Amino acid sequence: MRRRQFLNAAAAAGLAGLLPNSVWGSTDWKDRFEQALADKPWLAGYAHASKDSYAAEATVQGRWPEGLTGTLYRNGPAGHEVGGYRYHHWFDGDGLLQAYRFGPRGVTHQAKFIATYKRQSEQKAGRPLYSTFATGVEAQAPVTSPDTLNPANISVLHHHDTLLALWEAGSPWEMDPATLETRGVYAFSDHTRGVPFSAHPRVDADGTLWNFGYLSMANLLLLWHIDKSGRLVKIDKIKADPITMVHDFVVTERHLVLLIAPFHYDNPGADNFLASHTWHGNDPTRVLVIDKNDFSQQQWFELPAQWVFHFGNAWEDSAGVIRFDAARAEDPLAMIDSFTAIMRGEVLPASPSLHHQYRINTKAGKIAEMPMFSPTFESEFPSVDPRVSTRRNNRLVMLSRDTRTEAPHNNLNAVTGFSYATGLRDTWRYPDTQLPEEHLYVPQHDRAPETGGWVVGSALDWRQRKQVLNVFDAEHISHGPVASATLPYALPLGLHGTFVAG
């Protein structure tokens, strides 16, 4: 089969895995959520953003770092309702792209919903027309490709001077960096339009872009290699049976590493894509190591059953030993139950996400894992200085929570820096009235990698109903924010972002 034919078939196979056989189901989720919101006002983090766009100049407190200029772009699900119908999972909402711009005149904020095919047609119809990740809707309009359903709601990538909003099962959407207007579906080549491109690509120090995608119905993984100018160098397929929804991966100087959890796609006739998967806790998590220069060179390893949303960084030494870290849970209970229940205002416990370090000896054929912290320290959204991506890193930044302390909500509530050299953690806990989102390590480019720099992240102040952006000295996080920028409105919790200096 020629490559064009393969990719067309692959896109169709991936699309088939997203189509449900069901109708809407219960329509009382909106009422139940609003009733719960009265008793748990912090649930505002999962409320629906009712406006198409937002814009404001922030009120800045503290001393804004002189060298911190540029734009923090963020993306995430925010359109949780269509025509009064509330989606059944946090990951279902339409993507809202945000831009925090830092400059000599202060901090400004802008946000716009991404004008995907799905959003435009549903807003016009005033009702849901398509299924989402975990909400089964009987199709009310033709589905011609994965991008018909694409909400562009997970992450954002800035590469080859192009801003892309990312999903997992379809194409990126190109956005105007200055206005946040939607330019349209972006394809790296004519024959890869609609082919799954994950929301967590990795960029080498030289600007080379690596990514993957998965095609559930075909039990295939796709691997992408894109040069620094945005030219597609190579795309290839790897058989992975049984398949799962791989969300993130890691890259070293010589290898790609993917963890394939035993959350098997084994029920394609289910109401929705999430329900098409079954957790097999007695099966191993398979680990695939791939040579970056030759995708046919592969090694397979096994770990105990586990679920990883996000990795920090990976690197390998001259002896062929790969090391990487991840926020590891024993199962995907958070995604299956907790992120569903929260949309109807219920709070369900999930397996804790505990940071682990992994070691793969590619020459000896051995793999090992070990927890990095105590079981009372939960973490997620790991971040490193982007200048050491795929190379050895000494610093790690993450959101965290100490389960020994109480909080009025069930979310992570602190930002933590960790030094591999000293083994020490540096933590600042957010006020109980604020829900922090992903925080990023932003380098100070006139300093060596991992020296100086800042940690930048936003939070929802649910009591004041305002959005807050905080800046920390990366070497003294526990001292608290050196500066904060407050917006006059609140927005739902998002997922991932990227910082573009300038």
pLDDT exceeds 60 at position 172: yes
pLDDT digits (tens, 9 = 90+) for 139-163: 788 888 999 999 999 999 999 999 9
Q: Are 413 and 390 in contact (CB under 8 A)?
A: no
For residue 95, which amino acid is it?
Answer: G
pLDDT exceeds 50 at position 174: yes
pTM above 0.85, yes or no: yes
pLDDT exceeds 80 at position 458: yes
Q: Are 399 and 478 in contact (CB under 8 A)?
A: no
pLDDT band at 27 (very low <50, low <70, confident <90, very high): low
CA distance 416 to 401: 9
pLDDT digits (tens, 9 = 90+) for 104-143: 889 999 999 999 999 999 999 999 999 899 999 887 888 8
Q: What is the arithmetic mean of pLDDT over 192-196? A: 94
pLDDT band at 9 (very low <50, low <70, confident <90, very high): very low
Q: What is the arithmetic mean of pLDDT over 262-281? A: 95
pLDDT at 104: 81
CA distance 377 to 472: 21
Q: What is the CA radius of gyration of the chain?
A: 21
pLDDT at 144: 87
Residues with Cβ < 8 Å from 401, sequence gap 6 or more?
377, 378, 379, 407, 411, 412, 413, 414
pLDDT at 10: 45
Q: What is the arithmetic mean of pLDDT over 15-43? A: 73
Q: What is the arithmetic mean of pLDDT over 365-390? A: 97
Q: Which residues of 302-319 are buried (b: 16+ CB within 10 A; e: fewer)?
A: ebebbbbbbbbbbbbeee
Q: Give the C-alpha distances (Å, rounded to integers) separating 62 from 101, 355, 415, 460, 486.
A: 17, 32, 19, 19, 12
CA distance 211 to 200: 7
441-444's contacts with Cβ under 8 Å and 24+ in sequence apart are: 441/383, 441/384, 441/385, 441/386, 441/395, 441/397, 441/474, 442/68, 442/70, 442/474, 442/499, 442/501, 443/385, 443/386, 443/387, 444/67
3-state helix, strand, coil in the chain (%, to 5): 15, 40, 45
Q: Which residues of 44-78 are buried (b: 16+ CB within 10 A; e: fewer)?
A: bbbbbbeeeebebebebeeebbebbebbbbbbbbb
pLDDT at 11: 47
Q: Are 395 and 385 in contact (CB under 8 A)?
A: yes
pLDDT exceeds 50 at position 375: yes
pLDDT digits (tens, 9 = 90+) for 16-25: 444 443 444 4
pLDDT digits (tens, 9 = 90+) for 332-359: 999 999 999 999 999 999 999 999 999 9
For the chain, give the mean pLDDT. Answer: 94
pLDDT at 258: 98
pLDDT digits (tens, 9 = 90+) for 273-294: 999 999 999 999 999 999 999 9
pLDDT exceeds 50 at position 13: no
